[in-house]
A and B are shown apart, each in its own frame.
Chain A
Amino acid sequence: MPSVITANRLTDGVVVYLASDGEWSEQIANARVADTDEETKALEAEAENAERERRIVVGAYPMPIAVRDGAVDPLSVRERIRAAHRTTLTKDWYDVPL
């Protein structure tokens, strides 16, 4: 199952994704997709370095996704809410698709 690496940024807790350029992006669209277990492990190692040495992020973990029409789509409600960077506070009922 394809996955991306996500974490929270250390300084402000904002949700970020390990991007193709090796930086951390707030946009899931920029996330680098790992298609195999080996690729996921390589990204995890990169994330650990960002967590321990560079102190950019906290709590990095691989997150299963689907790629639909070229777009990265989180599989769980929790990850959809994280990716949206917002809550239902300012929107209507079911603004985050189930």
Chain B
Amino acid sequence: MYRYDEFDHSFVRERVAEFRDQVERRLTGALTEEEFRPLRLRNGLYLQLHAYMLRIAIPYGVLSPRQLRQLAYIGRKWDRGYGHFTTRQNLQFHWMKLVDIPDVLAALADVEMHCIQTSGNCVRNVTADPYAAAANDELEDPRPWCEILRQWSTLHPEFSWLPRKFKIAISGAAEDRAATAFHDIGLRIVRGPKGEKGFRVLVGGGMGRTPYVGQEIRSFLPKEHLLSYIESILRVYNLFGRRDNIHKARIKILVNKLGIDTFRDAVEADWEAPHKTAIDLPEDERRRIMSYFAPPDLPEQPPRDEVLAARRETDPAFAGWYKHNVLPHRVPGYASVVISLKEPGRTPGDASSEIMELVADLAERFGHDEVRVNYTQNLVLPHVARADISALYDELAAAGLATGNNELLGDVICCPGLDYCNLANARSIPIAKEIAKRFEDPARQELIGSLRLNMSGCINACGHHHAGNIGILGVDKKGTELYQITLGGSPKDDAAIGTIIGPGFRAEAVPQVIDTIVDTYLEHRNEGESFLDTWRRVGAAPFKEALYGAG
């Protein structure tokens, strides 16, 4: 993974000192809240319902065990002993005190971490496929490109005050596991006409109150031009994006107002201007950054699959976990292992300091010192020898971390909602927990098959409800929490926005509503069909009838 050089270290330390001074001036009254607010937000510090919330950047979801242990330490010393992994592959602490934040930032800087650009109208944390450099369907590791974009965008003078926040995701694999079509810019590493590698560029995707699936602005961009092309997209957005209405300020609104062809013309015209080569990264610098991401030494091993097969025969819990949470690896004899943070009854995405420390230990013992955060709010050990899988499972099971529900119904994406968030209209955590309990029987989840259920506590859609096969959106209707259901969304290559199925439901009805939707699917599905397949074939009518009655 990337390691800070002297410039990075001093830059982050200077930011900590600067913010320490700003906090001091706020406490002594030299700064008003109006003056201080944009400064704290530039350092990822929000004021929420019960306390301050600190959002910590985890660049493209990659953590070292040392960093994860430091997050555990911070959680224990300055928060309530747990944190919340987010759909941006970041970590949030929800019970912070303003007076402690400078010390927390200093502790983060000790392990090459910070909170810069986790808020504000700038380029946010670039997200990536959590199985980067491990997946067996990968064309190229996206992480070096994420790091290049991170360095390029950090405090970029032209793009620090965009019309609105800006989110980029990169996938280098055949399957989209980074929801690239729901980003301001989505990048897929693909082969070009001559077999060379480059980027397919999507633009104008996003969720929130006006969801759009990203549109292709370029089917193939030579790799060496990534920075100049992204810069041209951002420049056109910066010039023409709306600043008069926060709800119409994202690039998706501009792209859809102009039309993709007009937007493309504007970008290409800017890109063809003479500054292109001055912006693109020099080849030796690209190689320098690439060198940080050399894959770990993974000598091919005998898979010992007979041991795993024998245990799967005799241990159904292990078999279920293995089937869903152990994923194929590019090197024979290895696998990527998903550590589910979705045990029924627990808050999706939350991890205690003890869990963080355990996962750090396991990454050192079994995972070549790497941990990833999935945008679905789980953790991943990307490189595990198959010979170690059984022992790893035992350690996870002893800690309640061996829930075998990756990409099943229980693997709910869920924002913090009204339990924490100032923007939320309704609670999401208790609903998600109740749904997980309702469907905790592994046999039932197995019968249902792959099903993405996403939930947000407000229209800002941090819980990606638009992209859920089943989406739940919490709204406030005259002081009552109501939950609107959408069906048919997808975050993957067949990206789609869910359709609102009808009037919303009260909280206590939602688990039964999900049950009814699932039963309707099971009743209508043909052999081999996923939920999405069935939905696309039969449409909304049977679901509406099951939920609201005929007529």
Contact = CB atoms under 8 A, between A and B. Distances in A.
A98 B480 contact: yes
Interface of B is mostly: mixed
Given A11-B98, A81-B49, A88 B479 contact: no
B78 to A, nearest CB: 11
B50 A82 contact: yes
A94 B430 contact: yes
Interface residues on A, range: 20 to 34
Contacts of B479: 75-77
Interface residues on B, range: 20 to 34
A1 interface: no
B27 interface: yes
A51 B347 CA distance: 34
Contact of A13 (B27, B47, B480): B47
A68 interface: no
Interface string B50-66: 11100000000000000
A13 B23 CA distance: 14
Contacts of B347: 89
A89 B99 CA distance: 25
Contacts of A82: 49-50
A81 B508 CA distance: 17
A77 B481 contact: yes
Given A12-B51, A15-B49, A93 B434 contact: yes
Contacts of B97: 11-13
A81 B418 contact: yes
Interface of A is mostly: loop
A8 B350 contact: no
Contacts of B476: 77
Contact of B52 (A13, A75, A77, A87): A13
B29 interface: yes
Nearest to A12: B97
Interface string A50-93: 01100100110000000000000001111001100111110001
B33 interface: yes
Contact of A88 (B51, B52, B427): B427
A10 interface: yes
A14 interface: yes
B48 interface: yes
Contacts of B47: 8, 13, 58-59
A51 B29 CA distance: 10
13 contacts: A8-B47, A10-B26, A12-B52, A13-B51, A55-B27, A58-B33, A58-B47, A77-B480, A78-B49, A82-B49, A82-B50, A85-B50, A87-B429
Interface of B: 26-27, 29, 32-33, 47-52, 96-99, 347, 350, 418-420, 426-427, 429-430, 433-434, 476, 479-481, 507-508
Interface of A: 8, 10-15, 51-52, 55, 58-59, 75-78, 81-82, 85-89, 93-94, 98
Given A12-B97, A75-B479, A93-B430, 4 more contacts: A10-B98, A11-B98, A78-B49, A81-B418
**8 cross-chain pairs, A with B, having the tightest CB-CB distances, nearest first:** A87-B419, A12-B97, A13-B51, A13-B52, A88-B430, A11-B99, A93-B434, A55-B29
